Structure 1
Amino acid sequence: MKIGVCDTTFSRVNMGAIAIDELRRHASVSIERYTVPGVKDLPVAAKKLIEERECDIVMALGMPGGVDKDKMCAHEASQGLIKAQLMTNTHIIEVFVHEDEAKNDNELAWLAERRTREHAENAVRLILRPDDLIKMAGTGQRQGFEDAGPARR
């Protein structure tokens, strides 16, 4: 198994290094890293990791800014990642942390690390232990902040 990690220089946290650290904690897999300037570069990076470097799954990590233009760019990048998944029939786990999700730099760094680590676990589950995800269905899992939990009647 091979996991691709693509990240950006625009991010204010080294999310790629965090992802690789967490992946290594949960699985013995090969890892390919591809760093690009910004989130709109992630779809082609993910597609290249799949097609050229033969990755079985990819994590796409980015940190869009908090202004409207950045949110639009993040949406466009997200659409590109979805298209790349459909074109390659391969999961690409989008891990975006928007700068305006946090109150300050400390919380931003904490959130980026926590969300990245939790999604790295999800990537491992998807390719190595998919039954674990079935057991988690409907439990209100959230990556980053606290889980929502299941809805109650």
Structure 2
Amino acid sequence: MKIIGIVDTTFARFDMGSAAVDEIKQYVSARIIRITVPGIKDLPVASKKLIEEQGCEIVMALGMPGAAEKDKMCAHEASTGIIQAQLMTNTHIIEVFVHEDEGKDEKELAFLMENRAREHARNVVDLLFKPEKLVKQAGTGQRQGFEDVGSLRG
């Protein structure tokens, strides 16, 4: 049985981890290991531990950076750490961040957080179980959370 890791944060204002788990369970039967850490800068090591210590074959790292410039810097640092953890483990860690200033209000922000978590969960399923499906979507302007923008070739 495939093992999928989910790591999310207490800092986020929406339970993206539960949305991701729910979405994955709708498509495949897999063992899901979920852990929650305080903030986004904790995501890289938690993801790496899920891979190395729990045998996860892919991990979703979900977080919500705040709107302040300091938060954007922390998000960049977390992203860099996630990339480094991917390279160190040769394993996909799908970063799913929703910045607090991406939504025009709390309703849109909650909508975005849920949709982005669910759409990336489907990407995780495809990467692990049906990678050929992603090949068919190459160049089609897919966007997670908001509406897809489409291909430049129609």
Q: Taking structure 2 as the reference length, what is the TM-score of the superposition? A: 0.98
Partner residue, 1:8:
9
Who is 1:133 aligned against?
134
2:64 pairs with 1:63: yes
Question: What is the SS of the residue equivalent to 1:52?
Answer: helix
Aligned-pair Cα RMSD in Å: 0.8
Give, in whole Å, the separation in 2 of the partners of 1:136 and 1:8. Answer: 30
Identity of aligned residues (%): 66
Q: Offset at 1:47? A: 0.2
Q: Counterpart of 1:15 in structure 2: which amino acid?
A: M
The structural deviation recorded for 1:151 is 1.1
Q: What secondary structure does 2:122 align onto?
A: helix
Deviations 1:107-133 (A, max 9, x none): 110000000000000000001000000
Which residue identity is paired with 1:142? R
Q: Deviations over 1:10-38 (max 9, x none)?
A: 00000111110001011100000010000
Q: Secondary structure of the residue that 2:86 maps to in structure 1?
A: helix
- Aligned-partner residue type, residue 45 of structure 2: V
In structure 2, what is the equivalent of residue 54 of structure 1? Answer: 55
Give the whole-Å Cα distance in 2 for the aligned partners of 1:145 and 1:20.
20
Q: Report the Cα offset of residue 152 of structure 1.
A: 3.6
Rounded Cα–Cα distance in structure 1 between residues aligned with 2:27 and 2:50: 21
Q: Give the match's secondary structure for 1:60.
A: strand
Q: What is the TM-score with the length of structure 1 in the denominator?
A: 0.99
1:143 pairs with 2:144:
yes
Alignment of 1:3-152 (within 5 A): 3-152=4-153
C-alpha separation in 2, matches of 1:5 and 1:152 = 35
Q: What is the CA-CA distance between 1:70 and the residue it aligns to?
A: 0.2
Give the number of equivalent residue pairs: 153
Paired with 2:7 and 2:17, the residues of 1 have a C-alpha distance of 7
Question: Which sections of structure 2, spanning at least 5 residues, go unmatched?
Answer: none
**What letter matches 2:43 in structure 1?**
L
CA distance in 1, matches of 2:79, 2:26: 27
> For the residues of structure 2 that align with 1:39 and 1:93, how far apart are their CA atoms?
13
Q: Secondary structure at the match of 2:95?
A: strand
